[in-house]
Amino acid sequence: MWLEAGGAAGAAAFAAWAVRGRSSSVFAPSVHRGVADRRSVALTFDDGPSESTPLLLDLLDRFGARATFFQIGQNAERLPSIAREISRRGHEVGNHTYSHPMALFPGIGAEISRCQSVLAGIHGQVPRLFRAPYGVRWFGLRKAQRRHGLLGVMWTAIGLDWKLPPDRVVNRLMSGVAPGSILCLHDGRELTVQPGVSVTLRSAEELLRRLRDSGYHFETVSEILCPMNSRGA
């Protein structure tokens, strides 16, 4: 009996890791950190754009930091000029589905395709990175990513900036910092109109300051995945 119970528990643990594990590529190719050959991190922001995204862009400009924004197609349609400003300022844009569904099945292919179309129309280029809502991967995702040439991106550390105060958000992220880390924050709150993201803004400012003072540089996800020698440096 205990062997059966242990086997069931092991199977459940594997299933949970396959669906939400940072390093899992069971359902589709995915990365959660970049190369560690230089002192750089990648800041990523999910769920935008929102009405507060321009404040975040100004903050990133102050620190000379480039980041990667995983945009929800429906939010980008609602705020196309703000969405476009992100790429205009030199940041990278990725696909975060069209409507940020809780469950990715059975319509994951349509969600990704519609978001790709929206973002390509706004930014003039097709995203090559994808982040699943809630970090949940499932059957059908591999086919959808392959169809659009997308690489899944998880994170090394996530700030939980939608529910924690700024000091705890920053401490969570700093505890996961190392060369090549991919850090996750949010410049929107799913499909909420005019979301309150003051915690994100305050956390991002303190995080940028600490990382800069610790000698870190800021790269996009695509950049941080590439070894230094492949970038011609």
CA atoms of 187 and 197, how far apart (whole Å): 6
CA distances from 82 to 87, 88, 193, 204, 227 (A): 9, 10, 13, 19, 32
Q: Are strands 182-186 and 217-219 parallel, antiparallel or unpaired?
A: unpaired
148 catalytically annotated? no
CA atoms of 58 and 37, how far apart (whole Å): 29
Residue of 32, 46, 47, 123 with catalytic role: 46
Residue of 47, 123, 186, 187 with catalytic role: 186
91 catalytically annotated? no
Residues shown for the chain: 233
CB atoms within 10 A of CB 232: 6
Residues marked active site are found at 46, 186
